[in-house]
Structure 1
Amino acid sequence: MSRNEETPGDGASDRHVRERSLADLQRLCQSVAGEPLRGDVARTVGRIAETPSRDSVTFAADLVSRLGEGDRLLRSVAAKLVKVQHLRNLEPLFDDVPDGIGGPSVELRACVLGELALIGSGTGRRSLDAYAEKLGELGHPLARLPRTRLDIEHRFTVRVRGLGSVKTAKQLRSRFPEVPSTEGGTVAARGAGEARDDGRANAATRPFRAGGWAREPEARVFTLPSPLSSDDFGISFIKELPLRCLAGEGSRRGSAVACATTPDDVLNELFSASYVGGVNGQGQGGAYARLYAWQSLYALMGLPMAVPLLEAVRRAADHRWLRFMAFTDWFHHDTSDLAFAVLDPTRTRVAVLAATDTDVDGDVLG
């Protein structure tokens, strides 16, 4: 049975845990009134959120709204509420529609709706539908996302045994079809010029910065004087671009490789970057990880955010998508290395996004 289906009330043991947790939390809150949030308070708030009952939902939501400790705790509590609580316990949170989108109380509820969308729950409930509609009218950023998961998002939060991060060229070739090198690609790249766009670069790299990846990601856009042949969009083309992630390519043992991929693969990696978080970072929760992933994908395609998501999905099929890897100071091959290149439908614009997450000390990257 789904955790969000109607079920009988809590048992005596659940009530005992809840009452004990509530008492603990009340004592903790009294002891830190007016002080920065301590770890024990944060843990207890999380424990309350994970105690199945309507009272626990109400108390956790009220408390996290009043603590004012920033996005991390709020998004974590929203994710825990949706993971553990039955939908009937969450519904009272949405009895009153907001009159603005400022403040942690509204933000928590927006995140809960975002988390519910990822598990396909909550639609068709009057109070939740009304609250979501109001968020859209008020312009909340999460409200532009569909309240059901799109087919292109089918891999979000799904872990497949044996399919972790791609760390080696062998793993890359085993999962994706390699694109052969061509002389035409080498020649075409030498005529490429960079089209600097800081806003687009910031949007493209947001999942990695939000997730606290260990190194600043690289996002660049290049334009070509004439259309690039699809056959020439491969590693021979990419290696000629002045990319920071490829600095020193050829100085280490191993050959750079590029493989064809698909928009859903790229979108899933962008989602996972902030959903899981980096080695020294923090996961952002599903609602915002989803938003950041779409913002990044739009940036890679050069689409205005006003374009509807389903239209973006249609346009994504007209782009060509590559994953690539090299043996440079950027690619550590020990935790997570990601690098994508996207060729637009005119075949005259290429966007590149590279990110690395490593706990190796003393490397040369800034």
Structure 2
Amino acid sequence: MTERIQEILAGLHELKDVTSVWAVADERVARGDAAFAADLGVALAREYGHAEPLWQYRSVFDHLLRLLATTAGPGNVTEALRLVSSPEAAGRKRDRYAASLLASCRRPEELAVAFSGHASEELRACLVHELVLRGVAVDEEPGIARWARSPHWRYHPLGWLPLTRSGMEDGADLPSYSLSGSSHSMPHGPSDGRPYGQTGGARVPSAAEVTTPQSAAALSSAVADWAEESNGRFEARVYDLAGPLDAGAVPAALLTLGLESLAGAGRKKAALSVAACSPAQAWRVLFVAASTGGAYNSGSHGAYGRLAAWQSLAALAGVADGADAREVEARGHECAWFKFDARTDWFEQVAWDIGLAALSPDGRRLAVLAATDTD
């Protein structure tokens, strides 16, 4: 450990502003000394990482990782991987974040080092699917293909996902990163649907709720951490219908199901808005919800966000357990999809509101997922 790193460690907890530490690391990396940034990060993790993290530690560590991931330079990727793979700093959440950072900022050929050098199997699995989401043909990339095609990780949770991006995933909303921060789109919130006016003419067959704990968990895969790690809540329900429901009658049906999220909807001050959408649009909403999270959590990032989006979409479409991604996508295209929201007391009406419904091809099954969160 260098004397400069020892000085930073000793005084870090007293700092009211850590930009001076950032500047030291920035200058060293600009001079080609990426190892200094990684050494500093490892030393910080060793000193502070296993206790309740100081805000100074969190801020400096994140800056160091972003610095190495976003700054071009020989050895920067290798040092970023050494930093997050050190025993003091390693962790599943950090692997997911690092994979998103690296895939966003680096060319695939630069990332091949992750599959032969410092990197956990978790980071490698996440990195593969972060690249897939960005349209990279990972099975054609030297240095990545052999690991990506190997059967040894097929039992990993991400092993269910295909190594090619489906048409439904084209244009997935992915974050962009810089040294100073990140940004991403939010395709949820108040609906652009047309307010539904009850006319009394829609034929709505009676419905019986058939939600099980297992189906509710599957439906809510994309938003579960809104409730676990933030201020959010969700409602996930499945109904069997006594007769075929016409797609045009779905707005009327939503008001008859006794949904908590739509309690009081349909009145003048709590208008229900519903719009038909494509399965790709539904997937996009689910993906951003899972990958970026709610008001007070950072989500699962791209790889696990991709998995959670498919799990929720499969449950909404009524796909049987054990189906592969191709079957889920095919079934998704057969269903009728809807986005909805209402100005009820249940929805927070801030920025994190979701309402999705899927009607089966025969019109006899309706699945609903609603979620909301607030800061």
Normalising by structure 2, report the TM-score. Answer: 0.78
Identity across matched positions, percent:
30
Residue in structure 2 matched with residue 222 of structure 1 by the alignment = 239
**Count of residues in Structure 1 that have an aligned counterpart in Structure 2:** 330
Indicate if the aligned counterparts of 1:207 and 1:292 stay in contact, CA closer than 8 A. yes
- Residue 30 to residue 139, structure 1, CA distance change in 2 (3 Å): closer
Matched, 1:60 2:80: yes
Over 3 Å counting, the alpha-carbon distance change for 1:149 and 1:55 in structure 2 is: same
- Report the CA distance shift for 1:54/1:123 in structure 2 as closer, same or farther (over 3 A): farther
Among 54, 59, 64, the residue aligned to 1:44: 64
Shift of 1:305: 4.5
Match of 1:195 among 210, 222, 228: 210
* Structure 1 segments (4+ residues) deviating >6 Å: none
Aligned to 1:338: 354
Q: What letter corresponds to residue 278 of structure 2 in structure 1?
A: T
Query: Using the alignment, how far apart are the partners of 1:205 and 1:317 within structure 2?
Result: 20
CA–CA distance in structure 1, aligned partners of residues 75 and 155 of structure 2: 30
The SS at the match of 2:248 is helix
Q: 1:55 to 1:325 in 2, by over 3 A?
A: same
Residues 1:183 and 2:183 are matched in the alignment = no
Tell me, yes or no, if structure 1 residue 71 matches structure 2 residue 87. no
After TM superposition, give the deviation of residue 194 of structure 1 in Å: 0.6
Correspondences of 1:96-245 after superposition (within 5 Å): 105-121=120-136, 122-134=138-150, 138-157=154-173, 165=187, 167-168=189-190, 171-173=192-194, 181=198, 183=200, 185=202, 187-188=204-205, 191-210=206-225, 212=229, 214-233=231-250, 235-245=251-261
Q: Structure 1 regions of 5+ residues with no counterpart? A: 1-11, 97-103, 360-366
2:361 partner SS: coil
- Corresponding residue to 2:337 among 300, 304, 321: 321
Instruction: Give me the whole-angstrom Cα distance separating, in 2, the residues matched to 1:55 and 1:223.
Output: 58
| Secondary structure in structure 2 of the residue aligned to 1:317 | helix
Separation in structure 2 between the aligned mates of residue 251 and residue 258 of structure 1, nearest angstrom:
14
Distance 2:73 2:94 in 1: 20
TM-score, normalising length from structure 1? 0.80
Structure 1 residue 42 displacement after superposition: 4.2
RMSD: 2.9
Q: Which amino acid aligns with 1:113?
A: V
* Pairing partner for 1:312 from 321, 328, 339: 328
1:202 deviation in Å?
0.9
Q: Aligned partner of 2:297: which letter?
A: G
Secondary structure class of the residue paired with 1:303: coil
CA deviation string 1:187-216 (max 9, x = no partner): 42xx21110221121121121123545322
Indicate the residue corresponding to 1:85 in structure 2: 106
**Aligned-partner SS, 1:307:** coil
| Long gaps (5+) in structure 2 | 1-27, 176-184
Q: Any idea what the Cα deviations from partners look like across 1:11-46, whole Å, max 9, x if unmatched?
A: x97453524423433543453486566413344234
The SS at the match of 1:339 is: strand
C-alpha spacing 1:242/1:286, structure 2 compared with 1 (3 Å):
same
